[in-house]
Amino acid sequence: MARINQLKYYVLPTVYEVRWAEFTEKLLKHVLLSWRCLILFLREAQKIKNDEIDAKIHLKFLLNLRNLRLIAFLADAFFLFKNLQKHLQSDDLNIISLQSYLDNFNAHITDMKDGQKYLGGNEEKLEIDLVHENIADNNSSQIKLFDIVLDTLDSERTRGGQANKKRNIDVIRNNVVEQILKSMNKRFSSENDLKKILMPFVNFDRDGTNMSSAKHAI
Amino acid sequence: MHALSTHQPRITLEVGTQYRCSIVEAHLKAPYHIAAAKAALIKANTNIEAVTTLEKMISKSQEKLANRIGRYATCVFVDAKRLTLSAYSWPARLVAHEYGAAYNINNREQSANAIKKIPLQYVNPTSHAEILNCIVAVEGDLLSKKIENCIALSLRADGSVDRTNQDKIYVLAKIVNSEGKQETLFLGMGAQSQRGAGGLFNAIKEIINAAGEHLYLKVLKKMSSIVTDGASVNIGERSGLWKLIDDDAKVHNARQNILKIWCAAHRSDLSLKDLKKVINELPSVMRSLKKLSSFINKSSMRLALLREVRCSFKIVFFHSFSMITLTNDIFTSTVVKRWHA
């Protein structure tokens, strides 16, 4: 079976607490990297008596286009977060260099607003690999990923049997980006006064110093 | 061998023959015996001599490389046989290392003699921990001098629970040394015996003093800032760690006001938690993925099925961008857009 299918599986991490973005990003990325393998595995698991229900639920989740797009977007966002946190934990970080890392992160996250995808990221790759096909018989279309038909339904049934429409993926994307920017700004604004005092003295030489701000700080 | 003889000699058969000296001598000199003995030697992989001129040339000219390969092969072979890299597999690894280090392709006896001299007083996890303490003790004076001579010091402290469920406080110092360069020093770790900010403060003092005599006072006098997470035990206005250190600095006439900094990495983590609270879809997706991970990882049968499905084919689904696509995208997204802007 392995030879016939020729797929790759990345071990899904068992440690995935949102303590640091690295673990979350790893889980999201590995699910995407192993997607074809997981689909095949879940289809096989569906045939096993005790695993039937769970496998069906997971399969439905992974075959949903909206979910796939959300996972790909989150994997990109968490990738940026992971990189930021690695810089924040590095030895060469100080209160002055912190701002440049934050500015860089904010610029990248802002770029992901309004449907823009992270360049070279998972989301962009997913959109490239999606294939739209027209079905001749009933004049409708379907979306395939590696010859596997995806579920494009974006609503779920409530317990009462009513269809509950899920939020549009672009709305979620913008919401996430806005929230990250707002939250980061809130969390990192407490040192602004301190930075205002320190900054004029960082490059304290003839060319690099703004004398009026240094005088103001004194 | 078979080309030289049409039938198998009786001496090599199970029924055997009469072992007269003349028969044995003739057999030992026979070309089929010489060929068979050589084949058996190669098969046994013992003491292969470089016989041809070319082999001798290679073993002489590439002796260093051959020795290095031999060294690695010895170590890897032992690791593969032990099937574990745990600390308790060290005796075998120690012997393999000594054997490999003395390995010489042109002098096989050298490595064999080397292992005879090993005292086998190897390092096990317990003695390893003891030796680590010795290193700290030796480094203590150097650490004290570095801190005495530094221009400024920033203290960092955080607690962490390890795999054995031991809650420990880790203390680091970032200094600007006398040459104006930044350096990060690990001052030590220890358990907190009392509760609250007072207990934490005392634990930090003990940890620092354990690294060097009266080191805490030296640290306090050079301290320009303290970095911790935002737990109330640290930042509490009335009796938090920051306040206790401030008070202690005043008692010991430390030279300056200490800046208090909330760790940036912890703050970024908190903003992630904010995100989880506001965006409902995020916890829901993560929950589904966790369940999927548990579904697979918690059953050996499912893992076995997954192993059956997966393959050795080295094409990765995502991240398989060619450089041309990537450069084209960079071009269109940055250059063209700006051109039209």
Mean pLDDT along residues B1-8: 57
Query: Which of A19, A76, A89, A94 to probe the B interface (max B CBs under 10 A)?
Result: A94
Q: Tell which wins on pLDDT, A211 or A181.
A: A181
- pLDDT at A72 (0 to 100): 92
- pLDDT at B332 (0 to 100): 35
Lowest mean pLDDT among B115-119, B145-149, B305-309, B330-334: B330-334
- pLDDT at B48 (0 to 100): 52
Contact A94 B265 (CB under 8 A): no
Q: What ipTM is given for this predicted complex?
A: 0.80
Report chain A's mean pLDDT, rounded to a whole number: 80
pLDDT in tens, A180-203: 899 888 888 877 777 777 777 766
Gap between the Cα atoms of A94 and B153, Å rounded? 12
Mean pLDDT along residues B293-313: 74
pLDDT band at A71 (very low <50, low <70, confident <90, very high): very high
Q: Within its chain, how far is the Cα of B21 from the centroid?
A: 62
Using a CB-CB cut-off of 8 Å, the residues of chain A touching B261 are 95, 191
> Residue A178: CB partners within 8 Å, gap ≥ 6?
A113
Q: Tell which wins on pLDDT, A72 or B14.
A: A72
Residue A46 above 70 pLDDT?
Answer: yes
Closest CA to A87 of A25, A43, A22: A22
- pLDDT at B44 (0 to 100): 66
Residue A157 above 70 pLDDT?
Answer: no
Residue A174 above 80 pLDDT?
Answer: yes
Residue A204 above 60 pLDDT?
Answer: yes
pLDDT in tens, B47-90: 555 556 666 666 677 788 888 888 888 888 888 776 666 656 66
- pLDDT at B318 (0 to 100): 34
CA A161 to chain B, closest CA, distance in angstroms equals 20
Percent of chain B scored above 70 by pLDDT? 78
- pLDDT at B328 (0 to 100): 36
Contact A84 B268 (CB under 8 A): yes
Contact A187 B270 (CB under 8 A): yes
Residue B287 above 80 pLDDT?
Answer: yes
Q: Tell which wins on pLDDT, A137 or B290.
A: B290
- pLDDT at A152 (0 to 100): 81
Report chain B's mean pLDDT, rounded to a whole number: 76
Residue B319 above 70 pLDDT?
Answer: no
Lowest mean pLDDT among A157-166, B70-79, B104-113, B185-194: A157-166
pLDDT in tens, B45-59: 555 555 566 666 666
Q: Tell which wins on pLDDT, A163 or A87.
A: A87
pLDDT in tens, B219-262: 888 888 899 988 888 888 888 888 888 888 888 877 668 888 88
pLDDT in tens, B126-149: 777 777 777 767 778 888 889 989
Q: Tell which wins on pLDDT, A114 or A60.
A: A60
Q: Tell which wins on pLDDT, A1 or A76.
A: A76
pLDDT in tens, A126-143: 888 888 888 777 777 888
CA A189 to chain B, closest CA, distance in angstroms equals 11
- pLDDT at A14 (0 to 100): 56
Q: What is the DSSP letter of A4?
A: H
Q: Tell which wins on pLDDT, A92 or A209.
A: A92
Using a CB-CB cut-off of 8 Å, the residues of chain B touching A54 are 291, 295
Of B11-20, B283-292, B311-320, give the range with the top mean pLDDT: B283-292
Q: Residue B181 is encoded by which pair of tokens?
A: 């360069």
- pLDDT at A19 (0 to 100): 54
Mean pLDDT along residues B3-19: 71
Q: Tell which wins on pLDDT, B320 or B257.
A: B257
CA–CA–CA angle A147, A148, A151 (5° rounding): 140
CA B293 to chain A, closest CA, distance in angstroms equals 6
Using a CB-CB cut-off of 8 Å, the residues of chain B touching A93 are 264
Mean pLDDT along residues B262-276: 87
Query: Which of B176, B271, B307 to probe the A interface (max A CBs under 10 A)?
Result: B271
Contact B318 A180 (CB under 8 A): no
Percent of chain A scored above 90 by pLDDT? 4
Contact B271 A194 (CB under 8 A): no
pLDDT in tens, A14-38: 554 445 788 888 888 888 888 888 8
Contact A12 B297 (CB under 8 A): yes
pLDDT in tens, B190-203: 888 888 888 889 99
Using a CB-CB cut-off of 8 Å, the residues of chain A touching B309 are 1-2, 5, 7, 9, 37, 40-41, 44
